[in-house]
Copies of this chain bind each other. A is one copy, B any other.
Amino acid sequence: MSGVAVVRDLLVGVDVGGSKIAVLVADKGLSPRGRYTLPTTVGAPARAADVVVGAIAAAVGDAGATVDSIAGVGIGVPGRVDPLNGTVSLAVNLGWNDLELGTPVAERLGAPVRIENDVRAAAAGLHERGVLGDVADLAYLSIGTGIAAGVVLDGRLHRGVRGLAGEIGHVVVDAAGPTCPCGLRGCLETLAAGPAVARRAAAAIAAGGTSSLAALGDLTAADVYEAAAAGDTLAAEIAADVGAHIARAVHLLVMTYDVEVVVIGGGVAGAGDAFLDPILRALDRLRDASALAREVLRPGVVHLLPSGSEAGAWGAVTLARAAASGERPSPAAADRLSPVEGREVGDE
């Protein structure tokens, strides 16, 4: 009966992005306790667990604690995830394929780990934290390097049988459109994701268009929206067309899932009003044309996530809470398609 029992009361959310790793430490009441951002990403798969654990240790230190205080860890990654065994596959931007990340992190920290796709984790976090109030059916539409949606239906994260639900970046929206890296033509991503916005501006300038952007080097989507906000016509036209595509994506999400609210976030959404206004104008055009669209696209159907919302990190914190509670990841559907040994990572 001697010795001091360490209270495991910290939840750690890790948002693994393509260019940085953001760690958020919270207490069980979901108040923030510490943060750490690593300005590089994980590097080689073999080092991924070490890098993640190092970032976690730094964030827990920022909270004035040690890793002994960790009750649970959640990790959001931009790829497909098997939450039952903590394996990440097809995280193309990270160079990962079939990387077992959950078990090594859990073993190093002695705490349970839950891994989920970053967009789906963010959607679950927005719901669990009640960011939009008492809304049980919502979609989180992330517009960044890629486009994907995380969907909460009737209060529960909808993963689908393969954990791919909401991958609308690869829905074909223009059968005659550009070829997507996925192989199909005219996927939503080829027309409205960040790289597409930049590429479309560069192509319009190369085709003789006049724009303040011509003076810049490698364009980014942020450059295009900044120019549009400053009155650049070429940039504004691209922003308008991208807005029309995203408005139709919002309409698609509402018509398929019949959710109450669509929250838009992701790197490109950080451009703020220059990004949002063309979407709102396009939604108004849909409403003007159609009584059905007016009904399903109610005023306030779209919310833009304020920059600094840390939706990914907070989503990972809610994963951490689930891991800490011993709650099982929803196994039924995944089990049926490809049976795996059902266990919580870090159980033993």
Contact = CB atoms under 8 A, between A and B. Distances in A.
A110 B180 CA distance: 59
Contact of A137 (B154, B174, B333): B333
Given A171-B256, A183-B291, A158 B153 contact: yes
A260 B136 contact: no
A214 interface: no
A291 B70 CA distance: 39
A292 B170 contact: yes
Interface string A142-160: 0000000100011100111
Interface in A185-229: 185
A136 B333 contact: yes
Interface in A233-268: 244, 248, 251-253, 255-260
Contacts of A161: 137, 258-260
A183 B292 contact: yes
Contacts of A348: none
Contacts of A167: 255, 258
A163 interface: yes
A164 B296 CA distance: 9
A148 to B, nearest CB: 10
A55 to B, nearest CB: 30
A172 interface: yes
A138 to B, nearest CB: 10
A162 interface: yes
A256 B338 CA distance: 20
Contacts of A131: none
A165 B293 contact: no
Interface in A96-150: 134, 136-137, 149
A7 interface: no
A84 interface: no
Contact of A175 (B159, B244, B253, B333): B244
A183 B293 contact: yes
17 contacts: A137-B160, A137-B333, A162-B258, A162-B295, A166-B258, A170-B255, A171-B252, A172-B251, A172-B252, A173-B173, A174-B174, A184-B286, A184-B290, A184-B293, A185-B289, A252-B256, A256-B256
Interface of A: 134, 136-137, 149, 153-155, 158-168, 170-175, 180, 182-185, 244, 248, 251-253, 255-260, 286, 289-293, 295-296, 330, 332-333, 336-337
